[in-house]
Amino acid sequence: MFLDILSILLNILWWIIIVQAVMSWLIAFNVINTHNDFVGQLWHVLDRITEPLYRPFRRIMPDFGGIDLTPMVVLILLIIIQGPVMTYLYRLGVQTGMA
């Protein structure tokens, strides 16, 4: 039960990061404007959710100029967590009778 909820939360986080990355491109290319109330509020919410995840990686990663690779690094980490780690935890739960 706990692992199912964790899996759902990781999927939701995955989509939040994807939406935030695409939105940042649209803002950068002036396709959408943060002066629009809805866009500005959505951008603010997404930034508040993702910034704590990005912060530790931004301290470590070199500066690539205008390119921010932090979302990609976090997505790769999520793939690792959702793949081998979650599979291992599910198997561990089945072996101990917790599943």
Write out the chain's pLDDT in tens, 99 residues.
788 898 899 999 999 999 999 999 999 899 999 999 999 999 999 999 999 999 999 999 988 887 889 999 999 999 998 888 888 888 887 777 665
**Nearest to residue 78, comparing CAs of 1, 4, 15, 2?**
15
Which token pair is 6? 């964790």
Q: H or E stretch including 1?
A: none
**Dist. CA 63–CA 55, nearest whole Å:** 13
- The predicted model scores a pTM of 0.84
Chain centre distance of CA 86: 17
